[in-house]
Structure 1
Amino acid sequence: MPKFKVSQEINLPDIPFPFRWIPSENAADDIKLAVQKRTEMTVERLCWVLRNAPRSNSIRDYISSFDVSMVRSNLSTNLNGHNPLFYAVASMHVDVVGLLVGLGGDINVALPSRPGLSIPLIAFAALEGWCRLRRHQGTEMIRKLLALGADHELIPRDMWEDYIRAPAKLAPPGALPPKATWCSGRIRIALAKALNLTDRYLLFTAEEYKSPSRLQSQILSDTQSKSLFELPFYVVAQRYAIERIQKSLMSHIVVQDRRPLVLIFGGPSGHGKTELARQIKDLLNVSFHNVNCTDMKFNNDIFGPHAPYKGYEDGSPLNNFLADRNGNRAVVLLDEFEKTSQEVHHTLLRPFDEGIYQDRRNGDNVGCKNMIFIMTTNLFDDEITAFYNNHLAKKSHTERKNVNGTIYRELQSRLRQKMRQRFGVPLAGRIREIVPFFPFSPTEFPVVSHKNILKLSDSLYPPPDKDNKRYLGKIHIEVVDEEAVCQNIVYDSQEGARSIERDIEDKIRNGVLDLYLDRDDSLENIAKSPLMNMEVTIEPNDGDRKMIIVRDNGTISAPREFPLSF
């Protein structure tokens, strides 16, 4: 069957070695030498570095050795019609793309593929990930581009608005949207195949959340907090929680409160409480400390003993973390906080109220007004689940957005009353916000399923390596009919994402493992062979029931192409 060579449509030409010395065997050595010699940056050299650097830190070192004005000048220059950002995206180094966009790179730049066809950077990321068999990296690149403000309307709306369903090969009747006139014919067919379920969900998310205002951007930039508005792209669902967290963090930053920000995340396990706390840490680029509160019964357990009692000079992990970050912003996660005692609650009153803590080791005052304390708890599970069942479970996504705010305020009132009963009025009064995390909807849990399948596929991609005890590898997972597969992963609202992860391990990972171990081959030979192509699909089983099947579909190599009859 003839092929549509989409790899040629998005192909970036190779670049001759651009430096004035004989190239070494390792590109990283050449880049290091270019930094040492302070050779002038040209667009050829920048694109060569982006194309050939084995690791992102080599690229960052190279870029940071030049004045910002020189980097910006080269980012606005094309190499034979190709902007350097396309080489950055093709490298699949997400952090490098973020760096270049921050330095002035045009995130909506287009690739002049051929006369009449210019492919936007975000579409290029999807096509590149599909062709090169790096779906997970392609998706992470799309996530970053959208989080940084890429225009989601460059992709036709009909391809992502109903994100659960795979987009149609052909555009619906009528004129294409003005920003998406490029997307027709064979390139539309290719993009329909390349956009996976998570990609489509991210495009849908970009429609849902508005960008920060000019004033918000200025304030957040000045406080190194602008990435706060990227939060919706890094957590599946939990729209209400994200909005409450963003508002609380924005208020804390703008007002410059003398007290730390204290939040409590409530809701059933496995629905993103800990994940969201870690994402806040990552996006704000701050330190993080996790306290398991299961055994925190006495104030010594959490902060260490006072002098002169034995062990006071050692402090405690939390005591030392706060002291080491005196006055700086950081995130402290107090996990399973409902298991703490009244003595621990009393110990937290002063730092939560005054933004000052006394180091147990030496008595020095420690500033903690910039700290973000996040408590997680299952204390409110019954109330939050009942609210979801009564007010959200049977509503469409659009209807949920229009739920009366009074109903949410009533939930907050009930949760705060229960919090006062359990933690006492003094501590409850110092907690700024109770953030409820709801169960996943029927259109949300398949996204969580797909996210975990992508992670599994990415973990199986590298070759096996006996020396490093890596026995499973050189595998590509291809999901046929993502909608059906991801909807047939078991989701238990009491266990959340953990139930999804367990079912994927049982039905997909173990299916892959069985086929892999049946090979009459050696690890050394597998490491040198093409990727095994494991196909995950759905088959009928016992009437209306469906069963997830894993098949060995031979081998596959990059770049792959599209059959013209697709």
Structure 2
Amino acid sequence: MMDCRPPHQLTQPAATIPRLTTPQNPRIVMPDVIIIVMVLETETVLEIVTGSERATGLKRVMGLKGVVAVIVSNPIVLHGPFGSNPGTRDNQNGIAEPNYPEWDFGLPPVTSGVGQFRPEEGMTLSFSIARLVVGLQQGIDDNKLTQYFSYYRPDTIARSINGTVSGYPGIFYAVATNDEKLIRTWIKHGGDVNAVEKIHGFPLLAFAILNALNVQKDTTAMATTLLSLGADAGVIPRAFFMPFLQDPPVEGPDPRVVTDINEPKKKWCKRYIWPSLARVTNISQRYFLEKTIRDRPASARQNQVALAHNATELLGISYFMIGQATAASSVIKKLLTHLALPTSKPLVLVFAGPSGHGKTELAKRLGQLLTLELECVDSTEIKYESDLFGPKQPYLGYQEGSPLNNFLTRMSGKRAIVFLDEFEKTTREVQNACLIPFDEGKYLDRRNREAVDCSKTIWIIATNALDRKIVDFCERNPDIFKSDDVEKHARLMTELEKTLKKQLKHTFGNPLSGRISAVLPFLPFSLGEQAVVAHKYILELKNKVLAPVNLSSGKLVGRVFLHIKSDGAVCKAVATEGYDPDQGARSLQTAVKTRIEEELVYTYLEEDEVISETQALADYTVDIQRDGTLLIFKSTGTEKSFAD
């Protein structure tokens, strides 16, 4: 604590100040309570560092023959010479650090070459990162980027793709498009997911999050994609996202809790950035940032196996799932071991758990990330084996086959995924027809009796038959939702899997259950996960109402920018009231529709202005009162903020 008073108010004798004459003077520790009186002949700067902070504590600039008196209640250290710039020294060890200028998070326009960028330039011109950036700013999509890359050797692209344009790495311009497909292609060709621009010291992940202020759109998908591809979440100070369900203050967290701000990779996060970062880092981003910090990264050998089989994106599959961390990690484990030690037996997985908790979503994501074709079968309509595989010769219709028969034939010898949804609703006849394909990876085309190799097929059986076992187990063992104690969580999951395997024998019988590679339980969502799922549907609503009005199609709600103030509290309130463990995400989708969407539309329709396709963009805000009631209102002035 410091007290600056005029000299005539001082009642204690002044301490003698050692004269600092050269930069080599050692630091001098002063008494606990001292008074400093200095008469300066010329304008200068007095730099004082408190012992508790070990950082610059005070600077006073005095005019000609000025006098300054300071009482300091803690020991201080003087280091010189006077007039040195404290902003250029690290407050831990005295190492010089960059003095970055402030930034509005915008990238400069780039002009290189002549006219519109065309991917066909790659046929005649050398690879140019500058021309590619011009194309990005002109709006090229992933298809055109892929076309441009196709004209060059991979090593040619890799040598130049991390070059800078107008002082910024080219990948920053790629992230600025907010197109996650495009950034996947960019990184696949050698782009550095942890690039840092040198002008302001910003890491790519931080720029992706703050880019929301420039594009005025949600950037959650971009940030999540970067994390899934290996971006270092440690560049973001933890106080901005941990715990993820807690909303940071709009001006930024209390400096006393930002304990990691002096780490070298967080030097970019200056105080002027804190309010912006706190506002735009939404609950979904906070959830995945915290997840990244807690999860163990893939090992070098796991990365090697995935790379050898063109399956590196498999390692990031959990970033496209809310909850179900154990199921996602089990899928990764089973697939990597299957790829590392090939076998003629196909992989047969059972996804067990209540509806709406991610079974279908995980199967679809698996196909997308591995670029595998996916065949989905609704087993509720399958009563006979001919319904699944088609009739045999000479029965009517055998020439046409069935969708699954034709899919297996077309994908013979190739990797593919077959998703059998609600398989418990089939009959024993249908289940027995699957025994040979599941066990030996062999099948006969019903149309011509030719052999089909389905040994590389990934069979996924989704079932709700084990729901009660899973829910009851979770109610008896609530610690299964806590991931802090890794050993205890693993022990509970192993116990649950054993319980489910026993039940599986009663459901499908020994022959089929004996051919199953693994049973993956899908748990009910925790409260925090429920809130993030609710936020997912709120983001979908934001995109829907932001789209233009189209009078001819009957879409009369549009050009609405929806803000969520305190999104953690809002989503928690929606989840607490709306979540049903038997319906999962569907119940939260309904809750968002009734509590937010319908109220928003009604508020929008209360306006007297006639709806038109050219109407001005309007801001609406969702806020929460102390009693948990949600308020939806049209925002004006200071009420508007990109806080979602």
- TM-score scaled by length of structure 1: 0.89
Matched, 1:279 2:365: yes
Mapped to 1, the partners of 2:605 and 2:421 lie a distance apart of 39
Question: In structure 2, what is the equivalent of residue 126 of structure 1?
Answer: 209
Mapped to 1, the partners of 2:120 and 2:388 lie a distance apart of 49
Q: Which has the higher helix share?
A: 1
The counterpart of 1:419, out of the listed 495, 504, 518, is: 504
The counterpart of 2:455, out of the listed 357, 369, 390, is: 369
Mapped to 1, the partners of 2:344 and 2:324 lie a distance apart of 29
Mapped to 2, the partners of 1:555 and 1:307 lie a distance apart of 74
The counterpart of 1:502, out of the listed 568, 590, 599, is: 590
Mapped to 1, the partners of 2:480 and 2:451 lie a distance apart of 52
**Aligned partners of 2:162 and 2:171 also within 8 Å:** no
Mapped to 1, the partners of 2:483 and 2:301 lie a distance apart of 30
Mapped to 2, the partners of 1:554 and 1:63 lie a distance apart of 46
**Aligned partners of 2:245 and 2:569 also within 8 Å:** no
The counterpart of 2:108, out of the listed 10, 13, 17, is: 13
The counterpart of 1:348, out of the listed 428, 434, 440, is: 434
SS in 2 for 1:297: coil
Mapped to 1, the partners of 2:120 and 2:610 lie a distance apart of 40
Return closer, same or farther for 1:303/1:410 CA change in 2, 3 Å cut-off. Answer: same
How much has 1:438 moved relative to structure 2?
0.7
Identity %: 31
State the AA in 1 paired with 2:523. Answer: F
TM-align CA RMSD: 2.4
Return closer, same or farther for 1:148/1:51 CA change in 2, 3 Å cut-off. Answer: same
SS in 2 for 1:360: coil
State the AA in 1 paired with 2:457. Answer: M
- TM alignment of 1:74-89, pairs within 5 A: 74-89=160-175
State the AA in 2 paired with 1:504. Answer: V
Number of equivalent positions = 535
Question: In structure 2, what is the equivalent of residue 3 of structure 1?
Answer: none
Return closer, same or farther for 1:166/1:296 CA change in 2, 3 Å cut-off. Answer: same
How much has 1:499 moved relative to structure 2?
0.6
Question: In structure 2, what is the equivalent of residue 446 of structure 1?
Answer: 531
**Aligned partners of 1:156 and 1:177 also within 8 Å:** no
State the AA in 2 paired with 1:550. Answer: I
Question: In structure 2, what is the equivalent of residue 34 of structure 1?
Answer: 121
The counterpart of 2:545, out of the listed 460, 467, 477, is: 460
Return closer, same or farther for 1:407/1:112 CA change in 2, 3 Å cut-off. Answer: closer
Mapped to 1, the partners of 2:445 and 2:642 lie a distance apart of 62
- TM-score scaled by length of structure 2: 0.79
- TM alignment of 1:279-298, pairs within 5 A: 279-298=365-384
How much has 1:468 moved relative to structure 2?
5.2
Mapped to 2, the partners of 1:247 and 1:463 lie a distance apart of 45
Relative contact order, higher structure (CA 8 A, sep 6+): 1
1:374-394 CA distance string (max 9 Å, x none): 111111111101111111258
Mapped to 2, the partners of 1:262 and 1:465 lie a distance apart of 47
How much has 1:10 moved relative to structure 2?
1.3
SS in 2 for 1:257: coil
- TM alignment of 1:395-434, pairs within 5 A: 396-399=482-485, 401-403=486-488, 405-434=490-519
Question: In structure 1, what is the equivalent of residue 245 of structure 2?
Answer: 164
How much has 1:471 moved relative to structure 2?
3.6
State the AA in 1 paired with 2:602. Answer: D
How much has 1:521 moved relative to structure 2?
4.7
Matched, 1:151 2:245: no
Return closer, same or farther for 1:561/1:242 CA change in 2, 3 Å cut-off. Answer: closer
How much has 1:460 moved relative to structure 2?
2.3
Question: In structure 1, what is the equivalent of residue 221 of structure 2?
Answer: 140
Matched, 1:553 2:640: no
State which drifts further: 387-396 or 456-465.
Answer: 387-396
**Aligned partners of 1:131 and 1:561 also within 8 Å:** no
How much has 1:34 moved relative to structure 2?
2.7
State the AA in 2 paired with 1:478. Answer: H
State the AA in 1 paired with 2:359. Answer: K
How much has 1:561 moved relative to structure 2?
8.5
The counterpart of 1:516, out of the listed 600, 604, 612, is: 604
Return closer, same or farther for 1:196/1:302 CA change in 2, 3 Å cut-off. Answer: same
Matched, 1:492 2:577: no
1:490-534 CA distance string (max 9 Å, x none): 2111111111000101111112222333344555x4x43442212
Return closer, same or farther for 1:359/1:297 CA change in 2, 3 Å cut-off. Answer: same
**Aligned partners of 2:422 and 2:461 also within 8 Å:** yes
The counterpart of 1:483, out of the listed 568, 571, 575, is: 568
Return closer, same or farther for 1:328/1:520 CA change in 2, 3 Å cut-off. Answer: farther
Question: In structure 2, what is the equivalent of residue 391 of structure 1?
Answer: 477
SS in 1 for 2:629: strand
State the AA in 2 paired with 1:172. Answer: R
> Computing the radius of gyration over CA atoms, which structure comes out larger, 1 or 2?
2
State which drifts further: 460-469 or 356-365.
Answer: 460-469
Mapped to 2, the partners of 1:555 and 1:31 lie a distance apart of 42
**Aligned partners of 2:106 and 2:214 also within 8 Å:** no
Mapped to 2, the partners of 1:534 and 1:64 lie a distance apart of 45
Mapped to 2, the partners of 1:99 and 1:139 lie a distance apart of 18
SS in 2 for 1:305: coil
SS in 1 for 2:488: coil
**Aligned partners of 1:211 and 1:229 also within 8 Å:** no
Question: In structure 1, what is the equivalent of residue 148 of structure 2?
Answer: 62
Mapped to 1, the partners of 2:103 and 2:545 lie a distance apart of 27
The counterpart of 1:301, out of the listed 387, 396, 400, is: 387
State the AA in 1 paired with 2:394. Answer: P
Question: In structure 1, what is the equivalent of residue 281 of structure 2?
Answer: 195
Structure 1: give runs of 5+ residues left out of the alignment: 1-5
**Aligned partners of 1:163 and 1:201 also within 8 Å:** yes
**Aligned partners of 1:533 and 1:555 also within 8 Å:** no
**Aligned partners of 2:105 and 2:214 also within 8 Å:** no
- TM alignment of 1:237-276, pairs within 5 A: 237-276=323-362
Mapped to 2, the partners of 1:363 and 1:214 lie a distance apart of 45
How much has 1:329 moved relative to structure 2?
1.0
Mapped to 2, the partners of 1:289 and 1:236 lie a distance apart of 23
The counterpart of 1:181, out of the listed 255, 260, 267, is: 267
